[in-house]
Amino acid sequence: MSPKNELVNLNVRVPKELKKQIHISCIRQDLSMQDFVLKLVEEYFENENHKK
């Protein structure tokens, strides 16, 4: 893995029920939670509408 693609830890506190819903969604989509969050963050920063 090149330094550009090196992964680091990102800790986020979310409500227990939200984590449960994310986990169920990941299972249905055959994704790990790490892949889900990575995809979510990438899409957020690719989207120009997130800027205020």
DSSP string, the chain: --GGG----------HHHHHHHHHHHHHHT--HHHHHHHHHHHHHH-GGG--
| Longest distance between any two alpha carbons in the chain, whole Å | 36
Separation CA 35–CA 42 (nearest Å): 10
pLDDT tens sequence for the chain (52 residues): 456 678 889 898 999 999 999 999 999 999 999 999 999 988 988 887 766 5
Query: Is 42 inside any structural domain?
Result: yes
- Per-residue model confidence (pLDDT) at position 3: 60
Domain residue limits at 20: 14-50
How far apart, in Å, do the first and last CA atoms of the chain sit?
34
Task: Provide the number of structural domains found in the chain.
Answer: 1
- Per-residue model confidence (pLDDT) at position 30: 96
- Per-residue model confidence (pLDDT) at position 7: 85
- Per-residue model confidence (pLDDT) at position 6: 85
Query: Is 23 inside any structural domain?
Result: yes
